[in-house]
Amino acid sequence: MTFKLFPKVIVFFIISLLFINCDKSEDGIPTDLEVENFIWGGLNAYYLWQSDVPDLADLRFSNQNQLNAYLEGFSSPENLFDNLLYTEQNGYGLNEKGYDRFSWIVDDYIALENSFQGITESNGMETTFL
């Protein structure tokens, strides 16, 4: 009876060893910089004007510690995002303030998705006073 159980125990032991060191902290990203790192990574990967923003260059930071030091210099994720936008006055798609008018950041993605779908938090009644 124990002979049949032995291979299962070995397989379980091997699989558990594979997952023992799966920890997010090994990436070198402090928990207080996860949002900032996400913003920088997203703009670095997908931003149309990435090549025009020096701080988004692929070779700008040689390791995660240098990137962390850069990200710590911003007071908020919104401040970081605004600093990484392409701001040349004659650039394509810029608004009157000189910023990229197609990129914005929100703190509540659920409310944003609901607004895209036409979902509001209204009961449909409007109050007016005569």
Model confidence pLDDT, tens digit, residues 47-79: 988 888 889 999 999 999 999 999 999 999 999
Q: What is the pLDDT of residues 12-44, one digit of tens each?
A: 777 776 666 555 555 788 888 999 999 999 999
Contacts of 43 (CB under 8 A, 6+ apart): 50, 53, 56, 81, 84
CB 67 within 8 A of CB 37: yes
Measured CA to CA in angstroms, residue 69 lies from 19, 64, 73 at distances of 30, 9, 7
Provide the pLDDT for residue 25: 53
Please give the pLDDT value at position 115: 84
- The pLDDT score that the predictor gives to residue 99 is 62
Q: Name beta bridge partners: 94.
A: 100
pLDDT for 63: 93
CA 80 to CA 53: how far, in whole Å? 13
- Using 50, 70 and 90 to split pLDDT, how confident is the model at 90? very low
Write down the pTM of the prediction. Answer: 0.65
